[in-house]
Chain A
Amino acid sequence: MKLFNIKALGAAALLASSVAALPAWAETTLTAVMQAPLRSLDPHLSTAQIVRTHGFMVFETLLGMDDQYQPQPQMADYTVSDDMLTYTLTLRDGLMWHDGTPVTAEDCVASLNRWSQQDGSAKTMMKYVDSIEATSDKELVIHMKSPFGPVLELLAKPSPIPAFMMPKRLAETPIGTQIPEVIGSGPFKFVADEYRPGDQAVYVKNEDYIPRDEPASWTAGAKVVNVDKVVWQAMPDMQTSINAIQSGDVDLIEQVTIDLLPLLAMNEEVETGILNPLGAQVTGRFNHRLPPFDDPQVRKAVMYALDQETIMQTAIGNPDYFQLCASIYGCEVPLASDVGAEYLEGTAEERMAKAKEILAASDYDGTPVLMMQPTDLTVLTTQPIVAAERMREAGFTVEVASMDWSTLQSRKNGWQPVSEGGWNFFFTYWGVAGIWNPLVHSLINGSGEDNTWAGWPVNARMEELRAAYLTAGTAEEQKQIAEEIQQIAWDDSFYFNAGEFKSVAAWRTELHDIQSGPITLFWGVSK
């Protein structure tokens, strides 16, 4: 397996590529197979990762996030007043929209408004915001009613909806309606004529883009584009993708099925590695509104019955690419901690014994558990099968209902009884950037309100802690609150954290300087 340190290799490759500069007339095209087909283009509207990746090609954010999870200037430099009530953002020079008009502060105000209507955390932030206004062509000011900790983080965050900037005329498109054109200020231009929804998206280098001076780090720093054209292709079949990269038809596969890596190991022309260090966490969600999982004891039995290792082993196989941890924020993020690890201690058999014991002592009456299983999303097809088997062993009656991912997503939003199309349990996964702090984490909402993300757990203490986190002054304070939240999430069995896996990418050796990032980045890389 060719695992290596990208940064170290990147430096060496940078040197090499500057020597072997390509002839000016050869157009370089980088063809990539993305993990999912691109079907919609409005990065404010969709939380899908592929749309985010698309967003970062064409659009930019005011602030970027570096590999230390720190917000850094990108489109704008910022100052924060000492009372934490005034944020001043100054646009850097030379920013142009792809239609040739300059980027103005007014555009950005409109974009922030549209973004904040759609993104969950931004909505929370807006409760603390007094006003956002453009004070000049280059400057916009955010006035807060009261201090709110993570303003800069939100402006810089890469997930689930980054604060992308777009021209005012696009930003005024009402929420719910897709933007009619893809015009951003980013390093790539979107080629609308060659876009085939669900099949192909094409980007060309934005020749007018002026990168920042700082070195590139995640979405912060210089976005230097070294290829003329990037083509995203959708391939419904991983086998086909692997054949294609071996024959040189494509240069990059964003996410290779880990079981198939041995096929590429033999190939000298293809390298594999982890480009997104963040990975994704698999979560098994209870429906807290329906029996039997309205009973905390019954949920607890499940928490012991399920086994992170079996689940990840079956889904991923190669232990190099998965990690088991108690942290609900991701295994390697600043807020990660071991709180709740008691639920994972001991062997699977020991925990199964405990699960049986708890279940026997509970009021569980044999009500069948309806487990939803997606058939068309490879990453999530195995977990329900494995989980169902463990739960049955613990004494549950489990019915696995197979459906396509779209049906599952829709069905999860209803809490009617199972007989009327409801559900009890299902698995999903979250890019770590979508859960890495209590602000963005959807699964720990304890309000139990109808419009929260499916599952509807109710826990008053949880709500207090989440509110407190937003106004916490220091990193220590934040971490402490986050740990307490994590403890409750385990104790009150909000959901089962089934472990974390990394996406492995494969690329042909002609590619150099592939950037690591929270999403796949196409700047820096050369061919």
Chain B
Amino acid sequence: MLTYFLRRLLMAIPVMFFVAVFVFLLLRLTPGDPAQAIAGDQASLDQLEQIRETLGLNEPLSVQFLTWIGNMAQGDFGRSLISDRPVLEMIGQRLGPTVALALVAMGLTLIIALPMGVLAAWRHGGMTDRLVMAVSVIGFSVPIFVIGYILIGIFAVNLRWFPVQGYKALADGLWPFVHRIFLPGLALASIYIALISRMTRASMLEVLREDYVRTARAKGLPESLVLFRHALRNAAIPILTVVGTGFAMMISGVVVTETVFNIPGLGRLVVDAVLARDYPLIQAIILLTAGTYVLINLLIDLSYALTDPRIRYQ
């Protein structure tokens, strides 16, 4: 298992290197000038030139890239060009809300989507199945920000059950936290619920055709045991896989959700950073999210072994 883990980590190196080169080139080969973002629109060209010189933006690209990679290898992600703060510190400040939002959305998803998918597969072809599929296809089709606004319109503005915006950390108390994160969590979860319930249903449909499910039924087991003990555990791997690849989708949702609900998370930070051409910040965020993606998918691969004893990684 450890060997497997190490091997996968080794494999992640070229992946991350590709990401690093790709992102660096993407940013540097496109127009836009961070000096302008620092100095504001009324700054003169002399001023800009001076700032560029100080920031090292006039160095050749290869030098800039090597410096950046070298620093990163030492754990130094650099400082924001705009705010002149360490990039990691800025990311750290914004990480909490985003992680909380993602976890809440994921929790809601699992609570809602798994039973939905299992039920739909169990009653395959029936009304429940059609209803679940309808909910899921609608979840895929309505943009998150529209869902967000509808939720705000109904639950925050009309019913006044929830605040319209903002974020409170868990440290500020459980209720304020839950109260503020529920709607954005739900909005973000919508597309995920659609995805996971679909995947659960499909995977369960497949598993329910398996011989061992027939065996379980032949043993006269209660249907709930057949579904949740025998079938769902076997259906777990494709579901887990989607949870992993869906992480990228989650990030897209986070960016939009944070904007709609005004949550000071990474999503907004990255949009701001892109608009301001804050190269080190953009690079660090993309690299970190890519790294997280790789890591999450690695962990998910490892977790297969927990659900399926046949998988013993060499």
Tell me if chains A and B make direct contact, with any CB pair below 8 A.
yes
- Contacts A39-B82, A176-B53; A249 near B42 (Cβ below 8 A): no
Query: Which of B29-37, B69-77, B296-304 makes up part of the contact surface?
Result: B29-37
Indicate whether A243 reaches chain B with its CB closer than 8 angstroms. yes
Min CB distance, A310 to chain B, in Å?
Answer: 24
- State whether B165 touches A409 (Cβ < 8 A): no
Q: A176-B54, A235-B262 are in contact. List 10 more A-B contacts (CB 8 A).
A: A40-B84, A46-B40, A160-B40, A235-B165, A237-B260, A243-B156, A243-B157, A249-B165, A406-B275, A410-B277
Residues of B within 8 A of A39 (CB): 37, 82-83, 272, 276
> DSSP majority for the B interface?
helix
B residues within 8 A CB of A397?
Answer: none
> A76-84, A295-303, A445-453, A506-514: which one contacts chain B?
A445-453
Question: In the complex, A200→B33 CA distance in Å?
Answer: 24
The chain A residue sitting closest to B152, CB to CB, is A243
Give the chain A neighbours of B42 by CB distance below 8 A.
47, 160, 430, 434, 442, 453
Cβ-closest chain A residue relative to B85: A197
25 contacts across the A-B interface (CB closer than 8 A): A41-B84, A42-B84, A45-B39, A47-B43, A51-B40, A176-B50, A196-B264, A197-B80, A197-B90, A198-B272, A199-B94, A199-B268, A199-B269, A235-B262, A237-B260, A237-B262, A244-B262, A247-B163, A406-B32, A406-B36, A406-B37, A409-B36, A410-B33, A410-B36, A428-B41
CA distance A485 to B55 in the complex (A): 38
Which residues of chain A from 192 to 220 have any CB-CB distance to chain B below 8 Å in the complex? Answer: 196-200
- CB-CB < 8 A to B166: which residues of A? 244, 249
B93 at the interface (CB under 8 A from A): yes
The 3 closest A-B pairs by CB, nearest first: A47-B40, A176-B54, A197-B83
In angstroms, Cα B211 to Cα A32, docked, is 64
Chain A nearest CB from B24 CB (Å) reads 18
In the complex, A101→B157 CA distance in Å? 50
Complex: A160 Cα to B42 Cα, angstroms: 8
- Contact among B48, B50, B82 for A40, CB-based, below 8 A: B82
Select which of A237, A434, A451 is within 8 A of B46 by beta carbon: A451
Whole-angstrom CA separation of A62 from B135 in the bound complex: 65
Q: Are B33 and A409 in contact, CB atoms less than 8 angstroms apart? A: yes
B45 lies within 8 A of chain A by Cβ: yes
B259 beta carbon closer than 8 Å to chain A: yes
In contact, A240 and B165 (Cβ under 8 angstroms): yes
User: Chain B residues near A347 (CB, 8 Å)?
Assistant: none
Return chain B residues, CB-CB under 8 Å to A406.
32-33, 36-37, 275-277
Q: Which of A45, A47, A404, A452 contacts B41 (CB 8 A)?
A: A47
Q: Looking at the complex, which one of B39, B54, B83 makes contact with A41 (CB distance below 8 Å)?
A: B83
The answer to the question of A364 belonging to the interface, with a C-beta cut-off of 8 Å to chain B, is no
With both chains docked as a complex, state the minimum distance between the C-beta of A508 and any C-beta of chain B, in angstroms.
Answer: 15
Q: How far is the CA of A214 from the CA of B277 in the complex (A)?
A: 44
- For residue B295, CB closer than 8 A to chain A, the reply is no
A120 vs B82: C-alpha distance when bound (angstroms): 21
A94 at the interface (CB under 8 A from B): no
Complex Cα distance A200/B167, Å?
Answer: 12
Interface size on A, as a range, is 35 or more
* Chain A: minimal CB distance from B165 (Å): 5
Cα-based distance from A407 to B156 in the complex (angstroms):
36
Which residues in chain A, 390-430, are within 8 Å of chain B measured between CB atoms?
404-407, 409-411, 413, 421, 428, 430
In the docked arrangement, what's the CA distance between A197 and B271, Å?
Answer: 13
Of all chain B residues, the one with the shortest Cβ separation from A410 is B33
The 8 A CB mask of A150-168 against B (1 = contact, 0 = none) is: 0000000000100000000
Q: Which residues of A contact B37 (CB under 8 A)?
A: 39, 406, 409
The number of chain B residues with a CB under 8 A from chain A is 49
Can you list, as one digit per residue, whether each of A33-66 has a CB less than 8 Å from chain B (1) or not (0)?
A: 0000101111001111001000000000000000
Q: Is residue B292 within 8 Å, beta carbon to beta carbon, of the partner chain?
A: no
B163: chain A residues at CB < 8 Å are 247, 249
Does B164 interact with chain A (Cβ within 8 Å)?
yes
- Chain B residues 135 to 163 lying within 8 A of chain A, measured CB to CB, are 152, 156-157, 163
B44 contacts A by Cβ under 8 Å: yes
Do A46 and B47 have beta carbons less than 8 Å apart? Answer: no
Complex formed: what's the CA distance from A176 to B55 in Å? 8
A118 x B165 contact (CB < 8 A): no
- Interface status of B236 (Cβ within 8 A of chain A): no
Question: Any chain A CB within 8 A of the CB of B202?
Answer: no
B94 — which chain A residues lie within 8 A by C-beta? 196, 199
**B286 at interface (Cβ–Cβ under 8 A)?**
no
Shortest CB–CB separation between residue B285 and chain A, in angstroms? Answer: 12
Residue A376, interface by CB 8 Å:
yes
Cα–Cα, bound, A178→B37 (Å): 13
Contact pattern, A 227-264, Cβ under 8 Å of B = 1, otherwise 0: 00000001111001001100101000000000000000
Question: Which B residues between 49 and 91 are near A, CB-CB below 8 angstroms?
Answer: 50-51, 53-55, 80, 82-85, 90
For residue B242, CB closer than 8 A to chain A, the reply is: no
Cα distance A40–B39 in the bound complex, in angstroms: 9
Choose among A196, A240, A430 the residue that contacts B262 (Cβ–Cβ < 8 A): A240
The contact of A48 among B40, B53, B156, B277, by CB within 8 Å, is B40
Q: Is A174 an interface residue (CB 8 A)?
A: yes
C-alpha gap A451/B50 in the complex (Å): 12
**Contacts known (A247-B163, A451-B45); A237 close to B259, Cβ less than 8 A:** yes
Report the separation of the CA atoms of residues A442 and B39 in the bound assembly, to the nearest whole angstrom: 15
The chain A residue with its CB closest to the CB of B261 is A240
Give Cα distance in the complex from A451 to B40, angstroms.
15
Q: Which residues of A contact B157 (CB under 8 A)?
A: 243
When the two chains form their complex, are residues A421 and B165 in contact, meaning their CB atoms are under 8 A apart? no
Q: How far is the CA of A458 from the CA of B82 in the complex (A)?
A: 33
Residues of A within 8 A of B269 (CB): 198-199
Shortest Cβ gap from B236 to chain A (Å)? 38
| Closest Cβ neighbor of B80 among chain A residues | A197
**Most B-side CB within 10 Å, residue of A176, A180, A410:** A176
